[in-house]
Amino acid sequence: MVQEATAAPAPEAAREQTQGDPPSMKSLLEAGVHFGHQTHRWNPRMKRFIFAERNGIHIVDLQQTVGLLMRACQYVQDLTAEGGKLLMVGTKKQAQDAIREEALRAGQFYVNQRWLGGAITNFATIQSRIDYLLRLEERRDRGDLVHLPKKEALRLENKAEKMNRYFGGFKEMTQLPAVLFIVDIGREDIAVAEARRAGIPIIALVDTDCDPTLIDWPIPGNDDAIRSIRLIASHVANAALEGHNRWLAGRGGYSAGEDDREPEPVFAVAE
């Protein structure tokens, strides 16, 4: 994968570029969204999204990236306008900050450390662990831990900190999300499998080494470069924020469109 040499822009700068309108070709090129992997690492199922080959690197067709991104964003906006929640997933180092910051900005949920097996398919068990964390935090906030032996209080503090590292991004999620946004579906294969099994739609940034047929709403592009990840994640978060604001304004009364139809996904999830 070709990585950009320059540092990632500040979150505010990225959001200025992505607010409202589709991303410009200039912003996509500057973020390196078009850079795929070396040609020998490609997945043939990505052929339809590849524009060219340059110096042994596949170049993504950015015209398709823009179109598919905006369709996916409309889908997110429609779901969140009806009260649905988005879960953003990206645990690789390049994605962690963008996933957390964009999810928090949009009032949505995130996983940016490690996907916990069963987070979707064994949701009740995960919820019991979250309930324990919330009770522990409540005890801490009330000052109950100061009455415990110092060693025990420290143990519980450390436990709460560790649990927050893994559960903190979705500890207020009381029901399954309406849709997932995933960065690097190869790394997050367990999340993909669980969402598919549960029938939860998936939006994902898919690089040239990915299998896009696993994803309902694939967005072709560089899933390794920090700026590329933030640019795409920022658009998805914008859509979720807009939809959520509409839901708050109408308390569920928002219509997705004049004909109340949602756009069709690019690929149907395989049975």
The full DSSP string for 77-133 is HHHHHTT--EEEE--SHHHHHHHHHHHHHHT-EEE-S-PPTTTTTTHHHHHHHHHHH
3-state secondary structure of 29: helix
Q: Among the listed ranges 18-22, 151-155, 179-183, which one has the minimum average pLDDT value?
A: 18-22
If asked whether residues 34 and 107 sit together in one domain, one would say: yes
Number of alpha carbons in the 13 Å side-chain half-sphere of residue 261: 4
Number of Cβ within 10 Å of residue 169's Cβ equals 22
User: In this structure, what DSSP letter does residue 256 have?
Assistant: S
If asked whether residues 158 and 36 sit together in one domain, one would say: no
Token couple for 233:
């994640």
If asked whether residues 101 and 221 sit together in one domain, one would say: yes
Q: What is the pLDDT of residues 110-156, one digit of tens each?
A: 999 999 999 999 999 999 999 999 999 998 888 888 888 999 999 99
Domain that holds residue 104: 29-116+176-250
If asked whether residues 101 and 74 sit together in one domain, one would say: yes
The Cα–Cα gap between 210 and 217 comes to: 13
If asked whether residues 57 and 181 sit together in one domain, one would say: yes
Inside any domain, residue 185 = yes
The Cα–Cα gap between 112 and 58 comes to: 28
- As for how many domains the chain has, the answer is 2
Cα(first)–Cα(last) distance of the chain, in Å?
Answer: 32
Q: What is the pLDDT of residues 217-237, one digit of tens each?
A: 999 999 999 999 999 999 999
Q: What is the pLDDT of residues 150-168, one digit of tens each?
A: 999 999 989 999 999 999 9
If asked whether residues 201 and 85 sit together in one domain, one would say: yes
If asked whether residues 214 and 144 sit together in one domain, one would say: no
Task: Give the rounded distance of the alpha carbon of 41 from its chain centre.
Answer: 24
If asked whether residues 38 and 107 sit together in one domain, one would say: yes
